[in-house]
């Protein structure tokens, strides 16, 4: 049990840093600004549910898929490290490497999908899931993923209140601070892949 807890805690924080629900708040609020509180809560729940399904599927199907593609774990660590490093730089520098889709006509399901992926379960999380699964095992990685997504649900569910209490500026600063450990984690993964 002690071994599980000692492996779970860092895995949880790694995944939570990568998912970074604070980054999703501005987009989530923008896409749901004309919706009722009840509809915003429903969109948050659907987004996390979709993100969870994607993450779990990739956790268990990702490694066999790598085998079919003849991609080694070392190769994937390098690729995942590059992706994580880019995500960290995005957060720190405030740049966007991909075009965000925004439309006020989006249905609640479309909003949920946009928040679920690529915001919550993007390539960075998929890379981290495979690497963590290899290093810590599927059980620890699954538990950490569920816990991190549950924390993300709490954040998104309370997005209107969080924005009101903290303000956009504090949320933006927090996202930049979180970008530093993401960048460091990406470099660590890439280095481990090169050594392997």
pLDDT for residue 157: 94
Count the residues in the chain: 196
Question: 7: Cβ–Cβ under 8 A, 6 or more apart, which residues?
Answer: 136, 137, 140
Domain residue limits at 58: 2-195
Q: pTM above the 0.75 mark?
A: no
HEC profile of 117-177: HHHHCCHHHHHHHHHHHHHHCHHHHHHHHHHHHHHHHHHHHCHHHHHHHHHHHHHHHHHHH
Phi and psi for 102 in degrees, rounded to 5?
A: -135, 130
**In the structure encoding, which two tokens stand for residue 136, read together?**
């810590």
Phi-psi domain of 130 (left: phi exceeds 0; alpha: psi -120 through 50; beta: other)? alpha
Per-residue pLDDT tens listing for the chain (196 residues): 778 999 999 999 989 988 888 877 877 877 777 788 888 899 999 999 999 999 999 898 877 887 888 877 678 778 777 877 887 787 788 776 655 545 444 477 877 887 887 678 877 788 888 888 888 999 999 999 999 999 999 999 998 887 778 776 776 777 677 778 778 877 887 887 788 6
Q: How far apart (Å, rounded) are the C-alpha atoms in residues 110 and 126?
A: 21
pLDDT for residue 110: 79
Per the structure, the count of domains in the chain is: 1
């Amino acid at each position: 049990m002690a071994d599980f807890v000692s492996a779970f805690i860092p895995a949880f924080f790694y995944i939570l840093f990568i998912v970074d629900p604070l980054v999703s708040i501005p987009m989530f609020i923008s896409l749901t600004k004309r919706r009722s509180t009840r509809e915003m809560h429903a969109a948050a729940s659907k987004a996390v549910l979709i993100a969870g399904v994607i993450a779990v599927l990739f956790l268990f199907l990702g490694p066999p898929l790598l085998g079919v593609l003849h991609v080694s774990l070392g190769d994937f660590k390098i690729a995942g490290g590059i992706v994580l490093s880019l995500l960290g730089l995005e957060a720190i520098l405030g740049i966007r490497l991909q075009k965000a889709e925004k439309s006020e006509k989006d249905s609640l399901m479309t909003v949920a999908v946009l928040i679920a992926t690529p915001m919550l379960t993007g390539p960075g999380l998929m890379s981290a899931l495979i690497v963590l699964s290899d290093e810590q095992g599927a059980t620890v990685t699954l538990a950490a993923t569920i816990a991190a997504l549950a924390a993300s649900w709490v954040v998104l569910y309370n997005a209107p209140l969080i924005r009101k209490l903290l303000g956009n500026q504090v949320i933006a600063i927090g996202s930049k601070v979180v970008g530093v450990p993401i960048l460091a984690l990406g470099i660590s993964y890439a280095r481990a892949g090169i050594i392997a």
